[in-house]
Amino acid sequence: MTVSAAFASDNAAPVHPAVLDALIGANADPVSAYGKDPYTEHATQRLRDLFASPDAEVLFALTGTAANVIALSAATRPWHEILCSDIAHALLDEAGGPVRISGAQLTRLPSDDGLIDPAELERRVARRGDVHHSHPSIVTITQSTENGRVWTASRLREFVDRAHELDLLVHIDGARIANAIAALDLDPAEAIADADVVTVGGTKNGQMFGDAVLVRRPERFDGIRFVQKQIGQLASKQRFVAAQFEAMLTDGLWLQTAAHANTMAARLSRGLTAMGLRLAAPTEANEVFVQLDPAARERISGYAVHQPDALSPVFRLVCSWATTEEQVSDVLQRLRG
Ligand SMILES: Cc1ncc(COP(=O)(O)O)c(C=O)c1O
């Protein structure tokens, strides 16, 4: 039986045709390597403009993990502590990359589906200054979170302001930031509050590959370009990453694709609840988490779906720019049996 990857992950989605066209367009002539090309210049400027960050440094990486590692490592020294939620991708799904490259400790904070209460920050920084404990210097949060939740603008602003009062830098893992921005229907700059560094995902939202690092306070990320180079993320042919961003960021395409993914997830979510199935988290962006008993899972055995925890009956179904209404109807119909 052929198993469909339609809901397996937004990473499983095909590449958007506009991105393929942009790659072909960028293939015409020789241009300078290692980011000294016009594509990088244009994409950099677009990201600065969109996020109202005129002084930001922009770096490009090939994967979301690399983008996180670059941002977190440049902000920390080996005796520092990186705070994150208990479900952070950087903690659970990057094979310890941020810890290995930064040398800093990664500490999990309790959260509500990845949304952290600012009081948790206060608890951690209370011990700062004691040589026996590592020094909390940055907190990383995810927008939208690993459980598909979205930080509202006010909640995010409050969190970032509190972190800054506590002398913590703020990193946003924005692997799915387009989905969050589309869900909030906000200006992108508002969806990142005053965060110090943001990784802007491209791979899950129509690109072939490539995530950007928007460094909004470059003076606090000394050496970041050396980290990028050391971990092999300064692509000599960076134009092909930048051209993809340029294509997606033109005429709001990145938010249209993200909004479509969110709409499909909302449709799926409504269908699941209508048949009495229990969602494990509210559907706020493009990921749906639903409890399935073995019989229900068997009914959709034709679909590869991720089970985040082998001991829990919760399954994740992800929609992308390419998800169709027919696919959503099909999975719902199969579940109805
Ligand atoms: C929240 C989040 N951050 C970062 C990443 C890393 O992306 P990549 O797999 O491209 O390294 C992912 C990928 O699933 C993710 O879900």
Atom 9 in ligand 1: which residue has the minimum CA distance?
Answer: 64
CATH 3.90.1150.10 residue window(s) in the chain: 253-336
Tell me the CA–centroid distance for residue 175 and ligand 1, in Å.
6
142 in contact with ligand 1, CB cutoff 6 A: yes
Residue 211 has what pLDDT? Answer: 98
Output Rg (C-alpha) for the chain, integer angstroms.
20
Atom 4 in ligand 1: which residue has the minimum CA distance?
Answer: 64
Atom 7 in ligand 1: which residue has the minimum CA distance?
Answer: 64
175 in contact with ligand 1, CB cutoff 6 A: yes
The number of angstroms, rounded, from the C-alpha of 278 to the middle of its chain's C-alpha atoms is 25
Tell me the CA–centroid distance for residue 64 and ligand 1, in Å.
5
Cα gap 239→217, rounded to integer Å? 24
228 in contact with ligand 1, CB cutoff 6 A: no
Q: Are residues 24 and 217 in contact, defined by beta-carbon separation less than 8 angstroms? A: no
99 in contact with ligand 1, CB cutoff 6 A: no
Residue 82 has what pLDDT? Answer: 98
Cα gap 122→135, rounded to integer Å? 13
Tell me the CA–centroid distance for residue 194 and ligand 1, in Å.
22
Show pLDDT as tens, one digit a residue, over the chain (337 residues). 789 999 999 999 999 999 999 999 999 999 999 999 999 999 999 999 999 999 999 999 999 999 999 999 999 999 999 999 999 999 999 999 999 999 999 999 999 999 999 999 999 999 899 999 999 999 999 999 999 999 999 999 999 999 999 999 999 999 999 999 999 999 999 999 999 999 999 999 999 999 999 999 999 999 999 999 999 999 999 999 999 999 999 999 999 999 999 999 999 999 999 999 999 999 999 999 999 999 999 999 999 999 999 999 999 999 999 999 999 999 999 999 8
Residue 337 has what pLDDT? Answer: 85
Tell me the CA–centroid distance for residue 26 and ligand 1, in Å.
26
199 in contact with ligand 1, CB cutoff 6 A: no
For residue 152 the two structure tokens come to 């509202």
Cα gap 194→205, rounded to integer Å? 24
Please, which contacts does 93-101 make with residues 24 or more away whose CB atoms are closer than 8 Å?
Answer: 93/65, 94/65, 94/68, 94/69, 97/65, 97/68, 97/69, 98/68, 98/69, 98/72, 98/73, 101/69, 101/73, 101/227, 101/231
In terms of CATH architecture, what is 17-251? 3-Layer(aba) Sandwich (3.40)
253-336 belongs to CATH 3.90.1150.10: yes
What atom of ligand 1 comes closest to residue 66's alpha carbon? 11
Cα gap 75→223, rounded to integer Å? 9
CATH 3.40.640.10 residue window(s) in the chain: 17-251
Q: Name the pairing type of β-strands 197-201 and 80-85.
A: unpaired
For residue 267 the two structure tokens come to 């449709």
85 in contact with ligand 1, CB cutoff 6 A: no
134 in contact with ligand 1, CB cutoff 6 A: no
Atom 6 in ligand 1: which residue has the minimum CA distance?
Answer: 64
113 in contact with ligand 1, CB cutoff 6 A: no
For residue 128 the two structure tokens come to 């700062």
